Amino acid sequence: MSNHRSRRSFIAHAAAGFSTFALSRVAQAQPTTEPPPRVLQVEHGVAERTGVEVNARQIPSFEPRDRSRVRFGSLQYRSGLVLTSPYRGFGGLSGIRLDAKGERFLAISDQGGWFTGSIRYAGGKMVALDDVEAAPMLNAEGRPITEKRLWYDTESLARDGNLVYVGLERVNQIMRYDFAKGGTSARGELLPTPPALRKLPTNKGLEAMVAVPKGQPLAGTLIAFSERGLDADGNLTAFLIGGPSPGQFSVRRTDKFDISDATLLPSGDLLILERKFSWFTGINIRIRAIPLKSIAPNALVDGPALFAADLGHEVDNMEGIDAHVTAEGETVLTLVSDDNFSMLQRTLLLQFTLVE
């Protein structure tokens, strides 16, 4: 979630090169000509497919106060990058999914854009991004979804093979894309969702999604988490969409943390990335592990914190998490931050090994 009212401006008026009279004359002279495309409703939206230059600066240690430290809770720091780009639309990264090798990635910005590319490694450490490309998310008509008012807050990403799901927080809707039909050029379709999901808070709603694969409990289910949609007891609301037992459940909320993303491990543990912010303590993040088998309709689930960090570490507004297993059998977590397109924030890509 980003504080769009305070940190982002919107395009209020479309630029026009002709007067109303001139437009009417053109319309009369060329009645079969298609109308000009509408302007994207977001400042940093991706208007068309394009290659993107991304610069990467390595982060040698996760805790600048103690550069020799590599262990943080149940995680061991592997490497990190600070990412910058001259491309105006690069930033606002709110979700990421990697291939089985942890190399190719699919990411989304929260202004309706896809980003694809590869992570380059040297000695097991991330050193750069290659072949980065941006593309607009398309609706069923093949137009950028951001042409529609409020359809820009793309905060959550889930993938099940060629099926890719994107959650829009501002309107609390889910788009489904079949990447077998053109990859990021595929047209999206609205996924039917529970009425209660669409009633989540406008700017604290749909924030994280996980698609449960075959072989796991709840296989075929799309699990959707709210950022801070609360139940009657003040816990975080979540939904089971499709699968063997659709319904609603809750995640115990503690210490005022909100959910920003989630990923599923082969072990059957669901990892939830959480964060909180205050003007006194700044940004705090943590990762909790919740057994997938404990999730069921009407359940209240909880789990231990594996990791916690604050501004004393190399963190920012961490919004995305994914996991992959290396050829050596190590489980690697990848985290990405949303810089809110602000000069005061950074786009970080961090990797840790799960050691417990």
Using one digit for the tens of pLDDT, what is the confidence trace for 207-242? 999 999 999 999 999 999 999 999 999 999 999 999
- The rounded mean pLDDT for the chain is 89
**CA dihedral sign, ordered 240, 245, 248, 254:** negative
Rounded to 10 degrees, the C-alpha dihedral 90/99/336/135 comes to 20
DSSP secondary structure letter of residue 211: E
pLDDT digits (tens, 9 = 90+) for 137-180: 999 999 999 998 878 899 999 999 999 999 999 899 999 999 99
- Whether 10 shows a pLDDT value over 90: the answer reads no
Q: What is the pLDDT of residue 42?
A: 77
Q: How far apart are CA 62 and CA 157, in angstroms?
A: 26
Whole-Å CA distances, 245 to 17, 87, 222, 272, 344? 55, 44, 11, 21, 44
Q: What is the pLDDT of residue 41?
A: 59
Question: What percent of the chain shows pLDDT beyond 90?
Answer: 82
- Whether 106 shows a pLDDT value over 80: the answer reads yes
Maximum distance among all alpha carbons in the chain?
A: 72
Q: How far apart are CA 66 and CA 72, in angstroms?
A: 12
Q: How far apart are CA 233 and CA 230, in angstroms?
A: 7
Reported as a pLDDT band with limits 50, 70 and 90, residue 35 is very low
Q: How far apart are CA 22 and CA 27, in angstroms?
A: 9
DSSP secondary structure letter of residue 103: -
C-alpha 244: how far from chain center: 26
The pLDDT of 46-51, averaged and rounded, is 94
Which residue has tokens 């609390």?
172
Calculate Rg over the CA atoms of the chain: 21
Q: How far apart are CA 241 and CA 147, in angstroms?
A: 27
Q: How far apart are CA 341 and CA 346, in angstroms?
A: 8
Question: What percent of the chain shows pLDDT beyond 70?
Answer: 88
C-alpha 302: how far from chain center: 22
pTM of this prediction?
Answer: 0.87
- Whether 283 shows a pLDDT value over 70: the answer reads yes
Whole-Å CA distances, 70 to 77, 122, 335, 352? 5, 18, 16, 9
Burial 98-121 (b: 16+ CB within 10 A, else e): beeebeebbbbbbbbbbbbbbbeb
- Whether 14 shows a pLDDT value over 60: the answer reads no
